[in-house]
Amino acid sequence: MHVSFIIPLFNCLPLTQAMLHSLRATVPRDLAHEIILVDDGSTDGTREWLKSLATPQVQVVLNPENLGYAASNNRGAALARGKFLALLNNDLVLTRGWLEPMLALHHSLAAPGAIGNVQLSVRTGEVDHAGIFINAKGKPAHDRSAPFWLERVRRPVAVTGACLLIERALWHQLGAFDEGFINGCEDVDLCLRALAQRRVNAVALRSVIHHHVSASPGRKLRDEANTRRLVLRWRDELALRGARVWCREFCSSELNAATAFRSPAENCEIAAYAAGVSAHPPRPALQGIQQAIDRELARWDILLGQS
């Protein structure tokens, strides 16, 4: 079995049906594969519909209660037999030729981690995801910049779990998704663990699909708590990964009171790192992100009632 498609479900039956139709229409004919659908307590008729799907090629898993995105993917991956896992949200619209560039990119890397692709918003048609970067506050954010016409690959910090390809052996080696994250940041956490093992996360820019984006009910309810958990675990790594963005924002801002206190030498360091000339993040950037993180942690303490 070559690829195991893992699809967690929570309501949104029409979107699930359309997504499954697009998957079946776009899987290469000669590709050995299986489809594992994990229902996370749907109440909209999804479970009744799933009864008609069970075949040797399709497995259906019914969670006893709503366990969340991470747990649903983990349950599906535990049953998978493929060399590769392809995690797919149920609100995607897959287009012909989406999978092949992701597999090809994986094979081209010496130490592949998680492979993602370009996702266009169904509502606007604009790029919603072409990788995940760490911003000047030390927090993950979607790269929504359109690929240049000659650009084929990006190597971001992370890729979204909405459409993610990874070797099953590496998935288990990394420890799967952390179920302490509830519908958010589990994919970034997994990708950071891959980077810690010197793996390369990458985006296949020739793979383009469409995404309804956060269609499942309650998808965004835990965003703040999830980001806080991620920052507490990866604080120093996030500061390091966000340093170049901090430097670029510093250089693009108008001269103000904040920049006036920088020495000429510091300004040169910041500009060199922003331009990619220097390989070492300057101290002011790391300090700036750490200060931003402190402000976010203080805000979360108030917002989430943390002590």
Question: CB–CB of 67/115 below 8 Å?
Answer: no
- Report the distance separating Cα 291 and Cα 288, nearest Å: 5
pLDDT for residue 255 is more than 60: no
- Report the distance separating Cα 255 and Cα 303, nearest Å: 33
Question: CB–CB of 36/3 below 8 Å?
Answer: no
What pLDDT score was predicted for residue 252? 84
Interacting residues of 273 by C-beta distance below 8 A, sequence separation 6+ = 243, 244, 247, 280, 281, 282, 285
pLDDT for residue 32 is more than 60: yes
Euclidean distance between the first and the last CA atom of the chain, given in angstroms as a whole number:
49
pLDDT for residue 307 is more than 70: no
For residue 33, give the 3-state DSSP assignment: strand
Question: CB–CB of 259/267 below 8 Å?
Answer: yes
What's the predicted TM-score (pTM) here?
0.94
Is the CA virtual torsion 22, 63, 169, 80 positive or negative?
negative
For residue 128, give the 3-state DSSP assignment: strand
For residue range 181-209, list pLDDT tens digits in order.
Answer: 999 999 999 999 999 999 999 999 999 99
What pLDDT score was predicted for residue 148? 87
Section 161-174 average pLDDT: 98
What pLDDT score was predicted for residue 260? 53
Confidence grade of residue 215 (pLDDT, cut at 50, 70, 90): low
Q: How big is the chain, counted in residues?
A: 307
What pLDDT score was predicted for residue 55? 79
What pLDDT score was predicted for residue 168? 98
For residue range 57-114, list pLDDT tens digits in order.
Answer: 899 999 999 999 999 999 999 999 999 999 999 999 999 999 999 999 999 999 999 9
pLDDT for residue 258 is more than 80: no
In the chain, the domains with their CATH numbers are 3-220 (3.90.550.10), 242-304 (no CATH)
The packing angle between helices 186-196 and 223-241, to 10°, is 30
DSSP track, 205-247: EEEEEEE--S-STTTTTTHHHHHHHHHHHHHHHHHHHTHHHHH
Residue 184: name the closest of 215, 219, 217 by CA: 219
What pLDDT score was predicted for residue 295? 96
pLDDT for residue 5 is more than 90: yes
What pLDDT score was predicted for residue 299? 95
For residue range 216-228, list pLDDT tens digits in order.
Answer: 555 567 899 999 9
